[in-house]
Amino acid sequence: MTDISAKIAGVELENCVFNAAGPKDVTLEELEAIAKSASSAITMKSCTLDPRTGNAEPRYYDLPEGSINSMGLPNLGYREYVNFTSVLKQHGKPVVASVSGLKLEDNVEIVSAFNDSEADLIELNLSCPNIAGKPQVCYDFEQSDEVLKQVVRVCKKPIGVKLSPYFDFVHFEQMAEILQKHRIAFATCINSIGNALVIDPEKESVVIKPKGGFGGLGGKYVKYTALANVNKFHELLPEIPIIGCGGVYTGTDVFEFILAGASAVQAGSVFMQQGPDSESVYAKERLRKIGRFHGEIKDV
């Protein structure tokens, strides 16, 4: 039988595809639907210290090849997600806690609380583009360094970082140096491309309300940027598993991420649009190719 399993920081995944933090993963009911799907792990919504209703609606809009969102981290507050871990673990899959405190002290408190939970992995989300007045932390290298120093100090679980896309080799190198310095267990590349603007020419208006219509772009529009980020971080940090995320709709997309150097792949927009049972992502013939693939992508 073809082996399409994956291992992230010692945590075994039955197949290399699971859900990205964000789509349909806020409530216990939504998380249990993910638990019952083919997703190999259960990633919970990025949580903050206190519950948040998120940004004003409309805050999500489907596009022909993806989506734009400015959800604003609607979530139940970290205490609920700490409690959910023991329920979710009963489904026999790894549980990934996603942490997105609005300030450093919040991240330290939330990560400390997950130490005593049944979460298997912690993904620190330093890349949410949708909180007005809060720039994406991972574009500020000094701040990222300080946050990781403090958070890693208290964390007793394998902790990774979810990154925004980078577009310049100097920035890849700067962030890679920080991740290596703090012995980060994995990196997830990429979050949505922040502050895109979609305009409806018929209505002569933007399509989402928050931030004057600016939001995170996801789906097929971002796949090639995501592949580049996976490949560059894999080259710079060969010891650290990279989780690919961005524009994964089919088994072929999954295979492309694996070729680029990803150890596993997360599905985001497709979960939002087709639900956690989106069959296309698990297309068997392509996933089987992953089992046969051992090596590096070739030059042309």
Could you list the active site residues? 128
Q: Which span sits near ligand SIN by CB under 6 A: 10-18, 81-89, 128-136, 199-207?
A: 128-136
Q: Assess 225 for contact with ligand SIN (CB under 6 A).
A: no
Q: Which is nearer to ligand SIN, 35 or 128 (CB)?
A: 128
Q: Assess 39 for contact with ligand SIN (CB under 6 A).
A: no
Q: Assess 71 for contact with ligand SIN (CB under 6 A).
A: yes
DSSP structural state of residue 46:
P
Q: Indicate the Cα dihedral angle 164, 96, 71, 102, nearest 10°.
A: -70
How many CA atoms are closer than 13 Å to the CA of 283, on its beta-carbon side? 13
Place of tokens 């190999």: 40
CB of 180 to ligand SIN, least distance (A): 23
Q: Is 126 in contact with 74 (CB distance < 8 Å)?
A: no
Q: Assess 192 for contact with ligand SIN (CB under 6 A).
A: yes
Q: Which is nearer to ligand SIN, 123 or 256 (CB)?
A: 123
The pair of three-digit structure tokens given for residue 22, joined into one six-digit string: 């964000």
E-state strands within the chain: 6-8, 11-13, 17-19, 42-43, 60-63, 66-69, 95-99, 121-125, 159-163, 186-189, 193-197, 199-200, 205-206, 214-219, 242-245, 264-267
Q: Assess 241 for contact with ligand SIN (CB under 6 A).
A: no
Which residue from 15, 19, 40, 46 is in contact with ligand SIN, where contact means CB under 6 A?
Answer: 46
Which residue from 8, 119, 128, 184 is in contact with ligand SIN, where contact means CB under 6 A?
Answer: 128
Amino acid at 149: K
Q: Assess 216 for contact with ligand SIN (CB under 6 A).
A: yes
Binding site for ligand SIN (CB under 6 A): 22, 46, 71-73, 125, 127-130, 191-192, 216
